[in-house]
């Protein structure tokens, strides 16, 4: 039974969101700060809860870096007039960089209809613009894998070096997932390369769908894929690996003769450590993937129904 009266249940739901969420009371004091808000801003809940949202910590700016004038920030305006609004602004990350966000602000009303507070939900807009820039770059410089329509190995190697450089400068945590289609050779040998290509395409689609918008997945070579996952602890990366495997396992491929192949993948992950090279990080993830695959060695090589 869903514990609909338990406040911790709803907090845990909000903490599953990739968007940032926070509540303020009528006096603009922050009452709740989600894990998504922490990931997007770098500030933990204990640094924010209890402070007023017009403090230096939570300032909004426009694209020129101009701060909102006192009383004109979206959440303050919402508290004054009770109207919801959507804005595109910048937040300053704890490490100093500016983060473009889309923010939605909604009043919170009491049982008598009075305004008792407000909620703001914000998401990182840079993911969308970064995604478009990646697509444009891949088209210009042949960084796209034409079969799967994912970034190819050359592009992923460059992205991995960029992530390592950011980690060395700002200590932004990230992880790498290595993913391999189970029994792919058997599928090719049994059903032919055309079906094998369909398996690769479906695996690419499912893996991309299982990740967050600001994560990056590409084809590493053959039936191997690699993903760069931002802001991940080892436990969270393990959960993401399970998510990818689960998404793939709910997919199947038609062989063209009325049968279907169940798709499964083996996934291994590793989080960045001080002094890591790209080769060391990928090797650790690859070793974890190999161990995962070895646990499945007794399964049939190709299943069709």
> What is the extent of the structural domain holding 270?
127-294
Instruction: Quote the tokens at residue 59.
Output: 């300032």
Which residue among 82, 102, 124 closes a domain?
Answer: 124
Per-residue pLDDT of the chain (305 residues; tens, 9 = 90+): 344 556 666 677 777 777 889 989 988 899 999 988 998 888 999 999 998 876 566 667 665 556 654 444 778 888 888 888 888 888 878 877 778 888 899 999 888 888 999 999 988 887 666 666 667 666 666 788 889 989 999 999 999 999 998 888 888 889 999 999 988 898 888 888 888 899 999 899 888 888 887 889 999 999 999 999 988 888 889 998 988 888 877 777 877 777 888 888 999 999 999 999 999 999 999 999 999 888 776 554 444 44
Those residues with Cβ within 8 angstroms of residue 20's Cβ, 6 or more apart along the chain or in another chain: 34, 36, 37, 38, 39, 40, 41, 101, 120, 121, 122, 123
In-domain check, residue 22: yes
Residue 1 lies in a domain: no
**Among 106, 124, 142, which residue terminates a domain?**
124
Q: 158 and 51, same structural domain? A: no
**Are residues 132 and 118 both part of a single domain?**
no
On whether both 38 and 115 belong to a single domain, the answer is yes
Helix, strand, or coil (residue 52): strand
Clarify whether residues 140 and 203 are in a common domain.
yes
Count of Cβ atoms closer than 10 Å to residue 17 Cβ: 14
- Which pTM was predicted? 0.54
The kind and range of the H/E element at 197 are helix 193-210
Neighbour tally for 140: CB within 10 Å = 9
Last residue in a domain, options 61, 94, 124: 124
How does DSSP classify residue 101? E
Q: How is residue 93 written in tokens?
A: 């990350």
Q: In CATH, what number is assigned to the domain containing residue 214?
A: 3.30.70.270
- The tally of domains found in the chain comes to 2
Q: What is the CATH number of the domain that holds 49?
A: 3.30.450.20
Confidence at residue 138, expressed as pLDDT on a 0 to 100 scale = 64
């Amino acid at each position: 039974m869903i514990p609909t009266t338990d406040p911790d249940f709803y907090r845990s739901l909000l903490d599953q969101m990739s968007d940032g969420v926070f509540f303020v009371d009528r006096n603009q004091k922050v009452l709740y700060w989600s894990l998504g808000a922490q990931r997007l801003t770098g500030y933990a809940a204990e640094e924010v809860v209890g402070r007023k949202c017009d403090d230096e910590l939570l300032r909004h700016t426009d694209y020129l870096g101009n701060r909102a004038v006192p009383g004109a920030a979206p959440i303050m305006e919402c508290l004054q007039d009770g109207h919801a609004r959507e804005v595109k602004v910048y937040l300053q990350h704890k490490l100093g960089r500016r983060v473009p966000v889309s923010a939605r602000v909604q009043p919170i009303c009491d049982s008598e209809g009075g305004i008792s507070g407000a909620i703001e939900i914000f998401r990182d807009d840079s993911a969308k613009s970064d995604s478009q820039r990646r697509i444009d770059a891949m088209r210009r410089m042949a960084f796209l894998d034409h079969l799967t329509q994912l970034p190819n190995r050359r592009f992923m190697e460059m992205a991995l070096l960029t992530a390592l450089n950011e980690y060395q400068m700002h200590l932004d945590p990230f992880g790498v997932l290595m993913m391999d289609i189970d029994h792919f050779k058997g599928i090719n040998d049994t059903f032919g390369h055309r079906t094998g290509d369909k398996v690769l395409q479906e695996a690419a689609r499912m893996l991309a769908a299982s990740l967050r918008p600001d994560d990056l997945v590409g084809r590493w070579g053959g039936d191997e894929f690699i993903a760069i996952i931002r802001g991940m602890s080892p436990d969270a990366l393990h959960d993401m690996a399970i998510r990818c495997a689960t998404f793939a396992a709910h997919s199947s491929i038609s062989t063209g003769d009325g049968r279907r192949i169940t798709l499964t993948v083996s996934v291994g992950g590793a989080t960045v450590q001080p002094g890591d090279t790209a080769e060391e990080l990928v090797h650790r993830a690859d070793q974890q993937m190999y161990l995962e695959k070895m646990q499945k060695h007794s399964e049939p090589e190709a299943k069709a129904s």
